[in-house]
Structure 1
Protein backbone atom coordinates (compact mmCIF):
# COMPACT_ATOMS: atom_id res chain seq x y z
CA UNK A 1 0.00 0.00 0.00
CA UNK A 2 1.26 3.38 -0.96
CA UNK A 3 1.41 6.06 1.65
CA UNK A 4 0.17 9.58 0.93
CA UNK A 5 2.79 12.22 0.87
CA UNK A 6 2.31 14.85 3.52
CA UNK A 7 2.42 18.43 2.41
CA UNK A 8 4.00 20.85 4.79
CA UNK A 9 1.75 23.86 4.60
CA UNK A 10 2.73 25.45 7.87
CA UNK A 11 -0.09 23.82 9.86
CA UNK A 12 0.95 22.33 13.14
CA UNK A 13 0.21 18.72 14.02
CA UNK A 14 -2.15 19.84 16.79
CA UNK A 15 -4.22 21.95 14.39
CA UNK A 16 -4.35 19.12 11.91
CA UNK A 17 -5.47 16.67 14.61
CA UNK A 18 -8.12 19.16 15.87
CA UNK A 19 -9.46 19.53 12.34
CA UNK A 20 -9.67 15.76 11.83
CA UNK A 21 -11.58 15.36 15.12
CA UNK A 22 -14.04 18.13 14.22
CA UNK A 23 -14.96 16.57 10.87
CA UNK A 24 -15.27 13.04 12.21
CA UNK A 25 -18.68 11.64 11.21
CA UNK A 26 -19.28 14.25 8.51
CA UNK A 27 -20.93 12.96 5.35
CA UNK A 28 -20.25 14.39 1.91
CA UNK A 29 -23.06 16.43 0.41
CA UNK A 30 -24.59 14.96 -2.70
CA UNK A 31 -24.20 17.46 -5.54
CA UNK A 32 -27.14 17.81 -7.91
CA UNK A 33 -26.03 19.02 -11.26
CA UNK A 34 -29.46 19.46 -12.75
CA UNK A 35 -29.58 22.74 -14.67
CA UNK A 36 -32.57 25.00 -14.02
CA UNK A 37 -35.41 24.57 -16.48
CA UNK A 38 -35.95 27.62 -18.66
CA UNK A 39 -39.51 28.22 -19.74
CA UNK A 40 -39.84 28.46 -23.53
CA UNK A 41 -40.27 32.00 -24.79
CA UNK A 42 -43.54 33.00 -26.28
CA UNK A 43 -43.35 34.39 -29.76
CA UNK A 44 -43.87 38.14 -29.79
CA UNK A 45 -47.01 39.35 -31.45
CA UNK A 46 -47.99 42.78 -32.67
CA UNK A 47 -50.82 43.69 -30.35
CA UNK A 48 -51.41 47.25 -31.46
CA UNK A 49 -51.62 46.75 -35.22
CA UNK A 50 -53.71 44.00 -36.79
CA UNK A 51 -52.53 42.13 -39.88
CA UNK A 52 -55.33 43.62 -41.99
CA UNK A 53 -54.39 47.14 -40.95
CA UNK A 54 -50.70 46.41 -41.61
CA UNK A 55 -51.56 45.22 -45.13
CA UNK A 56 -53.58 48.39 -45.69
CA UNK A 57 -50.59 50.51 -44.62
CA UNK A 58 -48.20 48.54 -46.82
CA UNK A 59 -50.52 49.36 -49.73
CA UNK A 60 -49.00 52.85 -49.86
CA UNK A 61 -45.42 51.65 -50.32
CA UNK A 62 -44.24 50.72 -53.80
CA UNK A 63 -40.63 49.67 -54.39
CA UNK A 64 -40.76 50.71 -58.03
CA UNK A 65 -41.74 54.31 -57.27
CA UNK A 66 -38.77 56.67 -57.25
CA UNK A 67 -40.22 60.11 -56.80
CA UNK A 68 -37.49 61.42 -54.56
CA UNK A 69 -33.91 61.81 -55.75
CA UNK A 70 -31.52 63.35 -53.24
CA UNK A 71 -29.17 65.94 -54.71
CA UNK A 72 -27.18 66.27 -51.48
CA UNK A 73 -26.70 64.45 -48.21
CA UNK A 74 -29.53 66.50 -46.66
CA UNK A 75 -32.98 65.12 -47.40
CA UNK A 76 -36.02 67.38 -47.31
CA UNK A 77 -39.56 66.95 -48.63
CA UNK A 78 -42.87 68.76 -48.17
CA UNK A 79 -46.32 67.55 -49.19
CA UNK A 80 -48.11 69.94 -51.52
CA UNK A 81 -50.44 72.33 -49.74
CA UNK A 82 -48.46 72.32 -46.47
CA UNK A 83 -46.69 75.23 -44.80
CA UNK A 84 -43.39 75.78 -46.69
CA UNK A 85 -41.57 76.46 -43.41
CA UNK A 86 -42.15 72.95 -41.99
CA UNK A 87 -38.91 71.35 -43.29
CA UNK A 88 -36.87 74.21 -41.84
CA UNK A 89 -38.61 73.83 -38.50
CA UNK A 90 -37.82 70.11 -38.57
CA UNK A 91 -34.17 70.88 -39.40
CA UNK A 92 -33.89 73.28 -36.46
CA UNK A 93 -35.37 70.71 -34.09
CA UNK A 94 -38.53 72.66 -33.24
CA UNK A 95 -40.46 69.38 -33.26
CA UNK A 96 -39.42 66.66 -30.84
CA UNK A 97 -40.08 63.08 -31.99
CA UNK A 98 -42.50 61.21 -29.79
CA UNK A 99 -41.41 57.83 -31.11
CA UNK A 100 -38.21 56.47 -32.68
CA UNK A 101 -37.87 53.59 -35.16
CA UNK A 102 -34.42 52.05 -35.70
CA UNK A 103 -34.12 50.11 -38.97
CA UNK A 104 -30.47 49.05 -38.56
CA UNK A 105 -29.81 45.49 -39.70
CA UNK A 106 -33.21 44.99 -41.35
CA UNK A 107 -33.92 43.84 -44.86
CA UNK A 108 -35.92 46.15 -47.12
CA UNK A 109 -39.06 44.05 -46.59
CA UNK A 110 -38.67 44.10 -42.81
CA UNK A 111 -37.99 47.85 -42.88
CA UNK A 112 -41.06 48.47 -45.03
CA UNK A 113 -43.25 46.47 -42.64
CA UNK A 114 -41.83 48.24 -39.59
CA UNK A 115 -42.28 51.66 -41.22
CA UNK A 116 -45.92 50.83 -42.02
CA UNK A 117 -46.37 49.73 -38.42
CA UNK A 118 -44.81 52.96 -37.15
CA UNK A 119 -47.13 55.12 -39.26
CA UNK A 120 -50.18 53.14 -38.08
CA UNK A 121 -49.02 53.41 -34.46
CA UNK A 122 -48.49 57.17 -34.77
CA UNK A 123 -51.96 57.55 -36.27
CA UNK A 124 -53.50 55.50 -33.45
CA UNK A 125 -51.62 57.37 -30.71
CA UNK A 126 -52.05 60.78 -32.40
CA UNK A 127 -48.29 61.40 -32.56
CA UNK A 128 -47.37 64.15 -35.00
CA UNK A 129 -43.58 63.74 -35.04
CA UNK A 130 -41.45 60.60 -35.37
CA UNK A 131 -37.81 59.78 -36.05
CA UNK A 132 -36.78 56.99 -38.42
CA UNK A 133 -33.14 55.90 -38.14
CA UNK A 134 -32.19 54.16 -41.39
CA UNK A 135 -28.42 54.40 -40.98
CA UNK A 136 -25.83 55.09 -43.64
CA UNK A 137 -24.30 51.73 -44.51
CA UNK A 138 -24.63 50.85 -48.18
CA UNK A 139 -27.38 53.43 -48.57
CA UNK A 140 -30.11 51.00 -49.60
CA UNK A 141 -32.54 51.99 -46.85
CA UNK A 142 -31.39 55.61 -47.07
CA UNK A 143 -32.75 55.64 -50.64
CA UNK A 144 -35.85 53.51 -50.07
CA UNK A 145 -37.25 55.13 -46.91
CA UNK A 146 -37.77 58.64 -48.39
CA UNK A 147 -39.45 57.13 -51.47
CA UNK A 148 -41.80 55.12 -49.25
CA UNK A 149 -42.59 58.12 -47.06
CA UNK A 150 -43.61 60.45 -49.87
CA UNK A 151 -46.16 57.87 -51.02
CA UNK A 152 -48.00 57.81 -47.68
CA UNK A 153 -50.85 60.32 -47.32
CA UNK A 154 -50.25 60.93 -43.59
CA UNK A 155 -46.69 62.21 -44.03
CA UNK A 156 -46.74 66.01 -44.16
CA UNK A 157 -42.99 66.61 -44.37
CA UNK A 158 -39.63 65.10 -43.52
CA UNK A 159 -36.11 66.39 -43.18
CA UNK A 160 -32.70 65.01 -42.28
CA UNK A 161 -32.63 64.79 -38.50
CA UNK A 162 -30.58 67.16 -36.35
CA UNK A 163 -27.29 65.81 -35.01
CA UNK A 164 -28.87 64.81 -31.69
CA UNK A 165 -31.26 62.43 -33.49
CA UNK A 166 -28.85 60.82 -35.98
CA UNK A 167 -28.05 63.49 -38.62
CA UNK A 168 -27.55 61.91 -42.07
CA UNK A 169 -28.56 58.44 -40.88
CA UNK A 170 -32.05 59.51 -39.74
CA UNK A 171 -35.16 61.40 -40.81
CA UNK A 172 -37.59 63.44 -38.74
CA UNK A 173 -41.17 63.01 -39.95
CA UNK A 174 -44.09 65.34 -39.44
CA UNK A 175 -47.38 63.44 -39.60
CA UNK A 176 -51.05 64.28 -39.90
CA UNK A 177 -53.29 63.59 -36.94
CA UNK A 178 -57.07 63.30 -36.77
CA UNK A 179 -57.34 66.71 -35.06
CA UNK A 180 -55.46 68.35 -37.96
CA UNK A 181 -57.76 66.64 -40.47
CA UNK A 182 -60.82 67.97 -38.61
CA UNK A 183 -59.37 71.51 -38.62
CA UNK A 184 -58.71 71.29 -42.38
CA UNK A 185 -62.35 70.31 -43.07
CA UNK A 186 -63.73 73.37 -41.24
Structure 2
Protein backbone atom coordinates (compact mmCIF):
# COMPACT_ATOMS: atom_id res chain seq x y z
CA UNK A 1 0.00 0.00 0.00
CA UNK A 2 1.43 3.37 -0.94
CA UNK A 3 1.53 6.43 1.32
CA UNK A 4 -1.18 8.08 -0.80
CA UNK A 5 -3.50 5.09 -0.38
CA UNK A 6 -2.95 5.03 3.39
CA UNK A 7 -3.63 8.77 3.68
CA UNK A 8 -6.76 8.41 1.58
CA UNK A 9 -7.98 5.57 3.79
CA UNK A 10 -7.35 7.57 6.99
CA UNK A 11 -9.28 10.55 5.67
CA UNK A 12 -12.17 8.33 4.63
CA UNK A 13 -12.39 6.69 8.05
CA UNK A 14 -11.86 9.84 10.10
CA UNK A 15 -14.13 9.80 13.19
CA UNK A 16 -15.09 6.10 12.85
CA UNK A 17 -14.83 4.12 16.07
CA UNK A 18 -14.13 0.38 15.93
CA UNK A 19 -16.82 -1.90 17.35
CA UNK A 20 -16.07 -3.77 20.53
CA UNK A 21 -16.61 -7.54 20.34
CA UNK A 22 -19.65 -7.52 22.63
CA UNK A 23 -21.46 -4.86 20.59
CA UNK A 24 -23.89 -6.33 18.12
CA UNK A 25 -25.74 -4.63 15.36
CA UNK A 26 -29.50 -4.34 15.84
CA UNK A 27 -31.00 -6.34 12.98
CA UNK A 28 -34.57 -5.71 14.09
CA UNK A 29 -35.22 -9.45 14.63
CA UNK A 30 -36.52 -10.36 18.08
CA UNK A 31 -34.68 -13.02 20.02
CA UNK A 32 -36.73 -16.20 20.17
CA UNK A 33 -38.10 -17.27 23.50
CA UNK A 34 -36.88 -20.86 23.80
CA UNK A 35 -39.43 -21.72 26.49
CA UNK A 36 -42.30 -20.54 24.30
CA UNK A 37 -40.99 -22.52 21.32
CA UNK A 38 -40.62 -25.65 23.46
CA UNK A 39 -44.13 -25.34 24.88
CA UNK A 40 -45.61 -24.82 21.40
CA UNK A 41 -43.81 -27.90 20.08
CA UNK A 42 -45.06 -30.01 22.98
CA UNK A 43 -48.62 -28.77 22.49
CA UNK A 44 -48.45 -29.58 18.77
CA UNK A 45 -47.17 -33.09 19.47
CA UNK A 46 -49.98 -33.75 21.96
CA UNK A 47 -52.58 -32.47 19.54
CA UNK A 48 -51.32 -34.77 16.76
CA UNK A 49 -51.41 -37.77 19.09
CA UNK A 50 -55.05 -37.16 20.02
CA UNK A 51 -56.21 -36.80 16.40
CA UNK A 52 -56.87 -40.10 14.70
CA UNK A 53 -56.49 -39.74 10.99
CA UNK A 54 -57.86 -42.87 9.39
CA UNK A 55 -58.40 -41.77 5.82
CA UNK A 56 -62.06 -42.77 5.81
CA UNK A 57 -64.15 -39.96 4.39
CA UNK A 58 -67.82 -39.29 5.04
CA UNK A 59 -67.97 -36.55 2.43
CA UNK A 60 -69.78 -38.78 -0.06
CA UNK A 61 -71.63 -41.78 1.38
CA UNK A 62 -73.07 -44.35 -1.00
CA UNK A 63 -76.67 -44.74 0.16
CA UNK A 64 -77.84 -48.38 0.17
CA UNK A 65 -81.15 -49.99 1.10
CA UNK A 66 -81.60 -52.53 3.89
CA UNK A 67 -81.94 -55.48 1.50
CA UNK A 68 -79.34 -54.31 -1.07
CA UNK A 69 -76.70 -56.90 -1.85
CA UNK A 70 -73.23 -55.36 -1.53
CA UNK A 71 -70.39 -56.35 -3.86
CA UNK A 72 -67.19 -54.48 -4.69
CA UNK A 73 -63.67 -55.41 -5.81
CA UNK A 74 -60.56 -53.32 -6.27
CA UNK A 75 -59.10 -53.25 -9.81
CA UNK A 76 -56.88 -56.26 -10.37
CA UNK A 77 -58.63 -58.62 -7.95
CA UNK A 78 -59.41 -61.88 -9.72
CA UNK A 79 -63.08 -62.54 -10.33
CA UNK A 80 -62.52 -66.15 -9.22
CA UNK A 81 -61.46 -64.91 -5.78
CA UNK A 82 -64.58 -62.76 -5.54
CA UNK A 83 -66.80 -65.71 -6.58
CA UNK A 84 -65.23 -67.81 -3.80
CA UNK A 85 -65.74 -64.97 -1.33
CA UNK A 86 -69.41 -64.57 -2.34
CA UNK A 87 -69.98 -68.32 -2.03
CA UNK A 88 -68.49 -68.35 1.48
CA UNK A 89 -65.61 -70.58 0.34
CA UNK A 90 -62.95 -68.34 1.91
CA UNK A 91 -63.15 -68.85 5.65
CA UNK A 92 -63.34 -65.68 7.70
CA UNK A 93 -60.85 -65.58 10.55
CA UNK A 94 -62.38 -62.70 12.46
CA UNK A 95 -65.76 -61.09 12.94
CA UNK A 96 -66.94 -57.65 14.02
CA UNK A 97 -70.47 -56.65 15.00
CA UNK A 98 -71.34 -52.96 14.60
CA UNK A 99 -75.01 -53.29 15.62
CA UNK A 100 -76.30 -50.42 17.71
CA UNK A 101 -73.22 -48.23 17.30
CA UNK A 102 -73.23 -44.61 16.24
CA UNK A 103 -71.63 -43.90 12.88
CA UNK A 104 -68.53 -42.37 14.55
CA UNK A 105 -68.15 -45.28 17.01
CA UNK A 106 -68.60 -47.76 14.14
CA UNK A 107 -65.90 -45.94 12.18
CA UNK A 108 -63.38 -46.07 15.05
CA UNK A 109 -64.17 -49.70 15.81
CA UNK A 110 -63.96 -50.75 12.16
CA UNK A 111 -60.61 -48.97 11.65
CA UNK A 112 -59.09 -50.59 14.76
CA UNK A 113 -60.47 -54.02 13.81
CA UNK A 114 -59.08 -53.86 10.27
CA UNK A 115 -55.69 -52.64 11.56
CA UNK A 116 -55.49 -55.63 13.92
CA UNK A 117 -56.61 -58.10 11.23
CA UNK A 118 -53.97 -56.76 8.84
CA UNK A 119 -51.29 -56.88 11.55
CA UNK A 120 -52.18 -60.55 12.14
CA UNK A 121 -52.10 -61.29 8.37
CA UNK A 122 -55.78 -62.30 8.28
CA UNK A 123 -57.08 -62.95 4.77
CA UNK A 124 -60.84 -62.64 5.30
CA UNK A 125 -63.09 -61.13 7.98
CA UNK A 126 -66.84 -60.73 8.45
CA UNK A 127 -68.32 -57.38 9.39
CA UNK A 128 -71.91 -57.31 10.59
CA UNK A 129 -73.28 -53.84 9.92
CA UNK A 130 -76.97 -54.62 10.26
CA UNK A 131 -79.71 -53.37 8.00
CA UNK A 132 -82.27 -51.87 10.33
CA UNK A 133 -84.58 -49.37 8.71
CA UNK A 134 -84.37 -46.01 10.46
CA UNK A 135 -87.32 -44.36 12.16
CA UNK A 136 -87.09 -41.38 9.81
CA UNK A 137 -87.59 -43.71 6.82
CA UNK A 138 -84.11 -43.18 5.43
CA UNK A 139 -81.71 -45.92 4.50
CA UNK A 140 -79.52 -47.77 7.06
CA UNK A 141 -76.72 -45.46 8.22
CA UNK A 142 -74.05 -47.92 9.37
CA UNK A 143 -74.53 -50.22 6.36
CA UNK A 144 -74.19 -47.27 3.96
CA UNK A 145 -71.10 -45.96 5.74
CA UNK A 146 -69.42 -49.40 5.94
CA UNK A 147 -70.05 -49.83 2.19
CA UNK A 148 -68.32 -46.49 1.57
CA UNK A 149 -65.47 -46.90 4.10
CA UNK A 150 -64.42 -50.35 2.90
CA UNK A 151 -63.97 -49.01 -0.65
CA UNK A 152 -61.62 -46.34 0.74
CA UNK A 153 -59.46 -48.57 2.94
CA UNK A 154 -56.14 -49.28 1.17
CA UNK A 155 -55.88 -52.85 2.53
CA UNK A 156 -59.36 -53.97 1.43
CA UNK A 157 -59.27 -55.92 -1.83
CA UNK A 158 -63.00 -56.50 -2.02
CA UNK A 159 -66.17 -57.34 -0.14
CA UNK A 160 -69.52 -58.98 -0.73
CA UNK A 161 -72.69 -59.58 1.24
CA UNK A 162 -72.63 -62.77 3.30
CA UNK A 163 -74.54 -66.01 2.91
CA UNK A 164 -77.83 -66.05 4.87
CA UNK A 165 -76.30 -68.24 7.63
CA UNK A 166 -73.60 -65.57 8.23
CA UNK A 167 -75.89 -62.53 8.22
CA UNK A 168 -77.06 -62.17 4.61
CA UNK A 169 -77.40 -58.55 3.51
CA UNK A 170 -76.75 -57.40 7.09
CA UNK A 171 -73.08 -58.42 6.91
CA UNK A 172 -70.16 -58.55 4.48
CA UNK A 173 -67.18 -60.82 3.92
CA UNK A 174 -64.10 -58.65 3.46
CA UNK A 175 -61.02 -59.80 1.55
CA UNK A 176 -57.82 -58.16 2.85
CA UNK A 177 -54.36 -57.65 1.40
CA UNK A 178 -51.58 -59.32 3.24
CA UNK A 179 -47.90 -59.93 2.88
CA UNK A 180 -47.25 -63.61 2.65
CA UNK A 181 -45.84 -65.00 5.86
CA UNK A 182 -43.24 -67.70 5.56
CA UNK A 183 -44.85 -71.10 5.00
CA UNK A 184 -48.22 -69.80 3.79
CA UNK A 185 -49.14 -70.76 0.29
CA UNK A 186 -52.51 -69.25 -0.56
The alignment's TM-score, normalised by the length of structure 2, stands at 0.62
Instruction: Give, in whole Å, the separation in 1 of the partners of 2:143 and 2:129.
Output: 6
> Quick one: which of 96, 102, 109 aligns to 1:101?
96
Answer yes or no: is the 8 Å Cα contact 1:142–1:169 preserved in 2. yes
- Residue number in structure 2 paired with 1:132: 127
Structure 1: runs of 5+ lacking an equivalent: 1-50, 181-186
Aligned mates of 2:168, 2:114 — CA distance in 1: 21
Offset at residue 95 of structure 1 (A)? 0.8
Secondary structure of 2:174's aligned partner = strand
For residue 105 of structure 1, give the secondary structure of its aligned residue in structure 2.
coil
Match of residue 122 from structure 1: 117
Q: Distance in 1 between matches of 2:59 and 2:127?
A: 21
Q: How far off its partner does 1:69 sit?
A: 5.8
Over the aligned positions, Cα root-mean-square deviation in angstroms equals: 2.4
CA contact 1:160–1:171 (8 Å) conserved in 2: yes
Cα displacement (A) at 1:86: 2.5
Which position in structure 2 is the counterpart of 1:143? 144
1:157 aligns with 2:158: yes
Over 3 Å off, 4+ runs: 68-72
Query: In the alignment, is residue 76 of structure 1 matched against residue 106 of structure 2?
Result: no
* Aligned residue pair count: 127
Partner deviation per Cα, 1:46-79 (whole Å, 9 max, x = no partner): xxxxx96x935x2x2001133x565872110000
**Aligned pairs (5 A) from 1:48-63:** 55-56=52-53, 58=54, 60-63=55-58
Q: Secondary structure at the match of 1:172?
A: strand
Q: What is residue 65 of structure 1 aligned with on the other side?
A: 60
- 1: distance between equivalents of 2:100 and 2:75? 33
Segments of 5+ residues of structure 2 without an aligned counterpart are 1-47, 134-139, 182-186
Q: Within 2, Cα distance between the matches of 1:103 and 1:69?
A: 17
